[in-house]
Structure 1
Amino acid sequence: MTISKTIETPQSPRISVAPMMDWTTKDYRFFARLFNPNVILYTEMVTTGAILFGDAKRHLDFNQQEQPIILQLGGSNPKDLALCSKMAQDWGYDEVNLNVGCPSDRVQNNKIGACLMAEPDLVAECIAEMRNAVDIPVTVKHRIGIDDMQSYEEMLHFVDTVTKTGCSNFIVHARIALLKGLSPKENRDVPPLRYEDVYRLKRERPELLIELNGGVKTFAETQAHLQHVDGVMIGREAYHNPYLLAELGQLWQLDMPDRFEIIEQMLPYIAQRMAQGAPLSIITRHILGLFQNLPGARKWRQALSGGNAKTFADLESAIQQIKDAMQRTEDEAREYQASH
């Protein structure tokens, strides 16, 4: 059995931003990369059908600055997955990941996502075909269980079955998915997190590269999980509070960038995208969380959301407004200290 390689980088541990539909677009990924050069970025899940029968360029194109970047595929036809994996390699992706975790009704009806946990042999066949088609790593993102398959032992059987193909990297969402009882949104919150199942998987299969996903919101929580697993994948928090990615730079002794330096680096990119015909709101929706928990953050969000910012000048005005708000707060703090 040949064990698959992983992204060859000096930036161990593996910290990544989860693939999130409508969120981890190329605009968000360009923005996210400015916070941390070492975090691994994922595309949104892209179905094999969208690539093979749709606009492949639209789904596969990315900026070189986004690397290291992984394409997440949705599908269950081994030949189609192999073909799309080869396209991903040719396009320049660093890895390909198979989605075995999405709980939405739409993907279930197409035999995509978490429902595939009930068919480990099919997943193994898919992974084997994908690995045979490419030289880049092929990985699996899955749940700890679904519906009537909720025990640790059943998850272990799933992993062991897929491992026989040579796949050695598993990203494990530490919640079960109740496909017949909960909505996709509820499946992100309602089933309790069972981190110990993921820790146990790493203990019992130490030769595998195990990454944990689900509910991680802080640098401290990330550090704690890394005592038990090889990597941590962060989802919604990395979107709503992207400066967390900068804080995670401490794992590699990186200096934390200034938020205003980040937005200044975004401006040429935004100007370029607008020149290509992209509405400003398509891009600014991804940067609303830049000043999360800081003075002026609410006005920043208001200025850029709901179509309020239509021109580049509107964006520059919003930047100046939050600079002014933060300066006022600093001035008030100094005055308070001087009077006490």
Structure 2
Amino acid sequence: MILLVAITGRDCSQLIAKLQALLPEVKVQLWSECTDYEAVEFVLAWNAPAYLWPKLVNLKAVSSFGAGVDSIDLTKIAEHVPVVRIVDDNLANDMAEYVLTHVLAHKLRLKEYYLKQSAGSWKPKRAYSQQHVGILGYGELGKACAKRLLANGFKVSAWSNSEKHDSEVDTYYTQHGLDDMLGQIDYLVCLLPLNQHTQGIINKSLISKLQSHTVLINVARGKHVVDEDLLEALDNEQLRGATLDVFSEEPLPKTHPYWSHDKVTFTPHCAALSDIESVTLQISDNVKRLIEGKNLMNQIDRTKGY
């Protein structure tokens, strides 16, 4: 049996070494070095080459290398093959810390003061008073962020695809619920899974329903945002600012307007990075489950894409 590591755009040597140590009875191999595709039964994938999937005639399971599965073309994988994702408590903690940090940074005008420092300008102002954060997507990461924000005095609302209840958070669902929430909030945090329904959701139409002092924080996927619409909104003062950790193309091209926009703060997709120890333990556990004929952990619902 081969566990194929089909992750592009990064050095996988440490990952492969750790997986091999945890799975001595399994051959762990990088996709570009594989010569026996028929022996591949389990694939660990992130932006795997499209030509690879038809070659894997004995594929029995696929795992994403991250919390989402949008990097995997599910149409290339047979329906009977389970697809799983990584669930890491550290990811939730890191994401909550990142979101709280950037909400506070905008509230306290830190970007404004960085620019004033560069310009040699001494002009103090009070922090913004707005305290209402709206979260798009109320799964594990959304709930972790809400808990941290509530603990720091913020009011939190959340919108999700299906009805959810939380005694401390105002929850919404359906398009009507989304529209209702958007008009009330001061900060919009995107934590949605990326699928055909959510791609491009942060567009001109959605932005028009926000208050002009609202700040966008996108920590989900770059393709949730229509870049041209966001830039137009920032330039026309329809939004106060944006923090972006994810982009439609990564690394962000050097010519992209985000690099120099004075209302944009961005980070290189680092809000919540997977811990290799936790990831390798989860993957090895699922490989063992596959060998033993047990159900795999953290399987996704293909109809939802998460």
TM-score normalized by structure 2?
0.33
1 or 2, which has the higher helix percentage? 1
TM-score normalized by structure 1?
0.30
